[in-house]
Structure 1
Amino acid sequence: MGRLEGKVALISGTGGGQGRAAALRFAREGAKVFGCDLNAAAQQETIALLRDEGLDMAGAGSVDLGDPQGAQAWIEDALATYGRIDILYNNASAARFGPIGEMSVDDWRYTLRNELDIVFYPTRFAWHHLAVQGGVIVNISSVAAWGASAATGIGAHSAAKAGVIALTRQLAVEGVKHRIRAVSISPGVVVTPGTKPFLDNPATRSMLLAGIPMERAGEAEEIVATALFVASDEASYITGTDIVVDGGMLAL
């Protein structure tokens, strides 16, 4: 029996990267997965991969979770398909980077919309359904929430991801009486379609890995393994905290 047998897990951003890895791992552990992605074709590829294994996954088409109506529709579609929600895995995000003194208001708002709003809206509309039988919220933050950088222009990204951690703590406190746990995970540098161009470039790769004691980037599956533990009953006494998965970056 898998660690998530009988659970319904909603995972955002399942078209690739960590979201696809999460959909595959959670389904293999017995969960019924309901995904979404802005890229509907990529989402369908993930569904096809799982169905080829005889595993259960469904999902919406192109969904913009930074829009409250889109988020609400995703939650309602999941309930219509599987009838309950046990796990909400807020993985999807998108950011724009640049120095604060040069960043446009549009880029600032885009980042907060697609890294903080995109966590709040699905959580808001799933909350009372999670409370029916109790459940788990897993929010993906970043090591960027824990420090600043003079070189990379991560101000908006850092602010949004720090907000995810703060929101997670509040969700945990408010969730106790509903038997809802909430935990955030802060990955470091991880191999994904978004980071691949930087890791493939020798100069940027060297810069990124220089600050990692383990001297390598993480794999999507390593972040997902942490999320799997958090979402499982094995983590029943863990709530309101942030788990850093960064190869030792923050130890320096």
Structure 2
Amino acid sequence: MKPVFKHALPVQGGQRLSGKVAMVTGIGSGIGRACALLFSAQGARVIGCDIDADAAAQTVEDARTRGTEVDSLHPCDLTAPADVARLVDLAVARHGGLDVLVNAAAFGAFAWLQEMDYETQWRRTLTGELDIVFLVCKAAWPVLIARGGGSVINFASANAAVALEGSPALAHCAGKGGVLAMTRQLAMEGGPHGIRVNSISPALVETSATRAHMQVDPGFLETALRKLMIRRVGQPEDIAWCALFLASDEAAWITAADFPVDGGATAW
């Protein structure tokens, strides 16, 4: 069956996040970009960041073209505590606080065990998938508490639950499995403060990074599609709509949960 790539509900305007301040990391591309644009279209005041300054600036411009606004700190290295502090300070200075945190930024290196380098692939992946979540949550936590609570949305992966044949994702699996465990713990710690913490676990989503891999290795795409009940590759907007729900007051009694937005990949 020929894969369909473009079949996600597009960004639409509304007021589901009216009055909320949302910080979204990794707005330059993929899921982070989709969340920033959708949240701003749904009434949120969005503070974003990306290590890629040009990509972040393009998202800011795209929001402006659509009649909304996204503020951004770029370049911003989320592995550097000082940069993370600047990001949170920007949200406080511009909007007086923070209601929603979307930890969309991540980095992952993919290699088979025997070919994986410890420093530049294994450790860098764990830094890019675990440390970033820790550092941003730690910096944003007192601001969320002062606000009376809020919503934190982390991103795990279908790879935290199942192994995909042909995918050299060892470090990525470890990192995203850690995100699941961190989310449960953070939800417990945040509960008394009114902070809800949930995660979303996507399967294969078309981004600039995955698109390049699918072009190089068509066999990988075929294997991934066989795992999907809905036989198309996910789009960033598919994930952003779930994040919108978790950020909104509609999800007021949901915490410590993981949402597998994966076309059915982990159900069989």
Partner of 2:74: helix, strand, or coil?
A: strand
Contact 1:75–1:125 at 8 Å: present in 2 too? yes
| Correspondent of 2:44 among 7, 10, 31 | 31
Whichever residue aligns with residue 51 of structure 1, its letter is R
Q: Which residue of 1 aligns with 2:97?
A: 84
1-structure distance, mates of 2:165, 2:85:
38
Give the CA deviation at 1:67: 1.9
Contact 1:72–1:121 at 8 Å: present in 2 too? no
Contact 1:172–1:180 at 8 Å: present in 2 too? yes
| Correspondent of 1:117 among 124, 131, 134 | 131
| Correspondent of 2:192 among 168, 177, 184 | 177
| Correspondent of 2:253 among 228, 232, 237 | 237
Q: 1:204 to 1:150 in 2, by over 3 A?
A: closer
Give the CA deviation at 1:17: 1.4
| Correspondent of 2:58 among 45, 51, 54 | 45
| Correspondent of 1:216 among 210, 215, 232 | 232
Partner of 1:173: helix, strand, or coil?
A: helix
Partner of 1:137: helix, strand, or coil?
A: strand
Query: Quick one: higher RCO (CA 8 Å, sep 6+), 1 or 2?
Result: 2
Contact 2:24–2:47 at 8 Å: present in 1 too? yes
1-structure distance, mates of 2:227, 2:165:
14
2-structure distance, mates of 1:16, 1:104:
26
| Correspondent of 1:129 among 143, 147, 152 | 143
* TM-score normalised per structure 1: 0.96
Unaligned runs of 5+ in 2: 1-13
Q: Which residue of 1 aligns with 2:35?
A: 22
Contact 2:160–2:177 at 8 Å: present in 1 too? yes
Residue 58, structure 1, aligned to residue 71, structure 2: yes
Partner of 1:195: helix, strand, or coil?
A: helix
Q: Which residue of 1 aligns with 2:10?
A: none
Runs of 4+, deviation exceeding 4 Å: none
Larger strand fraction of residues: 1
Q: Which residue of 2 aligns with 1:11?
A: 24
Whichever residue aligns with residue 252 of structure 2, its letter is S
Whichever residue aligns with residue 165 of structure 1, its letter is L
Whichever residue aligns with residue 101 of structure 2, its letter is L
Contact 2:21–2:44 at 8 Å: present in 1 too? yes
Contact 1:95–1:114 at 8 Å: present in 2 too? yes
Contact 1:97–1:155 at 8 Å: present in 2 too? yes
Give the CA deviation at 1:101: 3.1
Unaligned runs of 5+ in 1: none
**CA deviations over 1:174-220 (Å, ceiling 9, x no partner):** 11110000000000011111111233454332122121121111111
**CA deviations over 1:87-131 (Å, ceiling 9, x no partner):** 000001111112223311111110000011111101000001011
2-structure distance, mates of 1:149, 1:196:
17
Partner of 2:85: helix, strand, or coil?
A: helix
Q: Which residue of 2 aligns with 1:167?
A: 182
Contact 1:59–1:78 at 8 Å: present in 2 too? no
Q: Which residue of 1 aligns with 2:7?
A: none
Whichever residue aligns with residue 38 of structure 1, its letter is I
| Correspondent of 1:197 among 212, 233, 236 | 212
**CA deviations over 1:122-156 (Å, ceiling 9, x no partner):** 10000010112210000011111112346322111
Q: Which deviates the most, 70-79 or 112-121?
A: 70-79
Partner of 1:109: helix, strand, or coil?
A: helix
Whichever residue aligns with residue 262 of structure 2, its letter is D
* TM-score normalised per structure 2: 0.90
What is the RMSD of the two structures over their aligned residues, measured on CA atoms?
A: 1.4
